[in-house]
Amino acid sequence: MNKQPDILVIGLGPAGACAAKAAALAGYSVLAIEKKTTAGTPVQCAEFVPAMIGAEVSALHHSTIQPINSMVTRVEQQPADRMPDFPGRMIDRAAFDLQLGQQAAQAGAKLRYGVRVREISKSGKITLSDASFVSPKIIIGADGPHSVIGRSIGSGIDEFLETRQINLTLQQPFTSTDIYLSQQMPGGYAWAFPKGDTVNLGLGVHPKSKHKLKPFLDDLHHQLIDEGRVGRQIHSHTGGAIPAGGMVRPFGKRGQTLCLLAGDAAGLTNPITGAGINSAVISGQMAGETAARYLAGQPGAPAEYMEDLDDLFGASIARALAHKARLANHPHPGPEQLRSGWIAYPEYWQLQPAAQLEETSCPV
């Protein structure tokens, strides 16, 4: 069966759903596919969203579980440091993704779950897992850190953090995001994020320390049991890779087919914190709007999209990469180095890195 939508969106996480909605609202035919059979599940996310994407994203209100008002950082076994003004919310990520997908469908996009890309030809023709074919005018790759579309245009991601997370019963409610820093995981960290009656307890490390994820997380779990904060029973496990190498070139061509990247596929996740929902929502909408502008006769829209992404996220990503590189030179960083490499401390923000992307000319 042949399908000829104007725009094909691959991935229906926050970036893909927002891209599909924006493109459909602009009046173009949109097909959006997702390899998962159900929106947002299994959850591969710590589920914290900062306050900076609040009122304008209505799906947040339907998926919020509890507010967050501060960040508590524990460096080794030293007394905890509290950052009082750190507002945000814990969400039900599956419900969030479902709401965003429904909004895209209401805008006119056609959504298909349980379908993945089998092959992309040199001309940009897509073969799907159900043996159907799609020949869109534009492809938006919102298919995560191992993006098929990104690799097809030479913008694959090759630096990651590996994560593991468990969900536990919470014995003592709290309203902060709790962070654990240790020289045993330089460039990574552990977290305890409250989610109503439960807590997401997780850890992110450099891939070379992937084998330590389970023992590290087990140790932290037992520590919090001893402190009376969490229960023993594990309700769920999750994990996966988070982009940690910075933004890749977010556009290119496969034959004559324009390809845009958004969210994790574009490397917009913060290399230190792993935060990516904010950038996914924003870049997804921008990618959908860029596709519409390109189809409306604006050939410079993709380059402007890259410039706009760099304006929005380039400085913060470059700063995180600079700290990541600095910590890599300290195989056993002390408390001072660990603090200076984390967003809760003034030292982190004092670093002024060079711009991440050089200006290049690459018209499409």
Greater confidence (85 vs 55) lies with: 85
| Dist CA 238 CA 233 (whole Å) | 15
Q: For residue 36, is pLDDT > 50?
A: yes
Q: What is the pLDDT of residue 354?
A: 58
Interhelix angle 93-107/14-25, nearest 10 degrees: 20
Q: For residue 149, is pLDDT > 60?
A: yes
In the block, which residue shows the tokens 């939508």?
Answer: 5
Query: Which residues lie below 8 Å from residue 290, measured CB to CB, with a gap of 6+?
Result: 260, 301, 302, 304, 305
Q: For residue 358, is pLDDT > 90?
A: no
Q: Band the pLDDT of 362: cuts 50, 70, 90.
A: very low
Topology annotation, domain 2-70+88-158+245-317? FAD/NAD(P)-binding domain (3.50.50)
Q: Band the pLDDT of 3: cuts 50, 70, 90.
A: low
Residue 142 near residue 36 (C-beta atoms within 8 A): no
The mean pLDDT of 31-53, rounded to a whole number, is 88
| Dist CA 266 CA 246 (whole Å) | 8
Q: Quote the Cα angle for 28-29-35, to 5°.
A: 125
Q: What is the pLDDT of residues 88-144, one digit of tens each?
A: 999 999 999 999 999 999 999 999 999 999 999 999 999 999 999 999 999 999 999
Cα Rg for the chain, rounded, in angstroms?
A: 20
Residue 128 near residue 23 (C-beta atoms within 8 A): no
Give the residue extent of every domain in the chain. Answer: 2-70+88-158+245-317
Q: What is the pLDDT of residue 2?
A: 42
In the block, which residue shows the tokens 């919310």?
Answer: 89
pTM for this prediction: 0.93
Q: What is the pLDDT of residue 61?
A: 83
The mean pLDDT of 344-355, rounded to a whole number, is 82
Reading the block at residue 144, the tokens are 């995560």
Q: What is the pLDDT of residue 363?
A: 32
Q: What is the pLDDT of residues 74-83, one digit of tens each?
A: 999 899 999 9
Q: For residue 40, is pLDDT > 90?
A: no
Residue 304 near residue 54 (C-beta atoms within 8 A): no
Q: Band the pLDDT of 51: cuts 50, 70, 90.
A: confident
In the block, which residue shows the tokens 């890749």?
Answer: 248
Which residues does residue 191 pair with via DSSP β-bridges, in sequence order? 179, 202
Q: What is the pLDDT of residue 359?
A: 36
The mean pLDDT of 296-316, rounded to a whole number, is 98
Q: What is the pLDDT of residues 222-263, one digit of tens each?
A: 999 999 999 999 999 999 999 999 999 999 999 999 999 999
In the block, which residue shows the tokens 């994203």?
Answer: 57
Mean residue pLDDT across the chain = 92
Q: What is the pLDDT of residue 187?
A: 79
Query: Which residues lie below 8 Å from residue 298, measured CB to CB, with a gap of 6+?
Result: none
DSSP letters for 200-212: EEEEEE-GGGGGG
Q: Band the pLDDT of 185: cuts 50, 70, 90.
A: confident
Q: For residue 361, is pLDDT > 60?
A: no
Q: What is the pLDDT of residues 261-301, one digit of tens each?
A: 999 999 999 999 999 999 999 999 999 999 999 999 999 99
In the block, which residue shows the tokens 């006769």?
Answer: 297
